Amino acid sequence: MDTPVVLSHASAYLVLHARNRQAVVHNALTSPVDPYRISESGTHARNIAARIRVFLRECGVSLENETEIDIAVPTSLDRTSSAFFKSHVVGTSCNSSELVHIAPGLFAVGGALNFIQAATWMEPLELIEYGYELCGRYELDLTEARGDYRDRRPLTSRQRIHAALANHPNMPGAKRARHALAFVRDGSRSPMETALALAIVLPKAKGGLGYRHIVLNHRILIPQELKATIRSDYLEVDIFAPHRNVGVEYDGDAHSELKRRTHDSDRLAILGMLGVSMRTITASHFMHQLDFHRAMNSVAALLHLKLPTARDCQLAQNDLRITLVRGGGNSTTIERPPTPDRRASTSSHHDRHGLTCNHLFLTLVMLTKITTIF
């Protein structure tokens, strides 16, 4: 096998969420000896797949032996007939900035492309949540209880996803991804912060307030005349509406320490002096329909929005609340993503190892510096 393998779709999704990936990727790319020999010349597809599975297991991803490994190829002529791999055409326009180098001879599509691909198997709300995760500072732990997450830096951004959509306008999932991206914002720090943002930006028919003009974790600088009142040069607001000078924050700690409560009180006082109207939403609000409805009504009032009084809107709001709470940590399990749609056309053009890559695509991958985002 002389050509690199590019993990795609569900396989890439699992790698992007793998608990141990940073250490494993660092070791694979810095070791003086190739630990996996994935790109070793003359290797049969069966052995390539086995070596990739070893890499995935060390990252924390366990695939059943009968599960195909999703890979990206540039054209339909480059599809593989191997039973160990499933090919997905990404086009020859795929560039190096859209890929992540994870081991010698092994790459994965980055967050922007994976967002588009995820649109082929995720439900609309799930896809939007995934967009917040990719563009945010956390990732869900797929091996633990639903809602558990780890901090990490963003894997992509709305701007980079927009660029990927412009580069692949006809990729399967592009239309749905483009629609979902309209509701995604950069910078979320947690699943429940994402949930609160969605309760604001989603259309009223979907249970939200229909207000999109927000930014997450916005920094507000402390003017010189107020610096003596707080030990910070700036304050961050979870969700900020700059056109209304309104901030909304999520507080999931029902038993805050006195020191933190004092700090929060000081923050609210300073923000009030700066003319920022604040509203705090707690975990308890999300747990009860009427409490949540009243809390979101107060946010709507601060944003000068007409309150959603139609019965259908209220029912949609409650459905959204239930879904968001389930996604934010009140269910005991999290399912791995289902295998993406396998409805792919077949091709009779394969190399002797069952894996092929277009020469132009290879030139892009091999000669251009690959961006590592882990």
3-state SS class at 373: coil
CA dist 135 and 325 (Å) reads: 21
- pLDDT for 102 equals 97
Looking at this protein, which amino acid is placed at residue 93?
A: S
CA 263 to centroid of chain Cα atoms: 31
- Each residue's pLDDT, cut to its tens digit, for the chain (374 residues) gives 457 899 999 999 999 999 999 999 999 999 999 999 998 888 889 999 999 999 999 999 977 766 899 999 998 888 988 899 999 999 877 888 999 999 999 999 999 999 999 999 999 999 999 999 999 999 998 875 555 899 999 999 999 999 999 999 999 999 999 999 999 999 999 999 999 999 999 999 999 999 999 999 999 999 988 888 888 889 999 999 999 999 999 988 654 565 566 667 788 889 989 999 999 999 999 999 999 999 999 999 999 998 777 888 899 999 999 999 876 544 323 233 454 443 333 333 333 333 433 333 443 343 333 444 44
| 281 and 295 Cβ atoms separated by less than 8 Å | yes
* Total-model pTM: 0.85
Backbone CA torsion sign across 56, 58, 61, 66: positive
- Domain spans of the chain? 5-121+337-367, 187-328
CA dist 84 and 364 (Å) reads: 25
- pLDDT for 117 equals 97
Among 11, 24, 4, CA closest to 339: 11
Among 285, 369, 368, 364, CA closest to 324: 285
CA dist 283 and 308 (Å) reads: 22
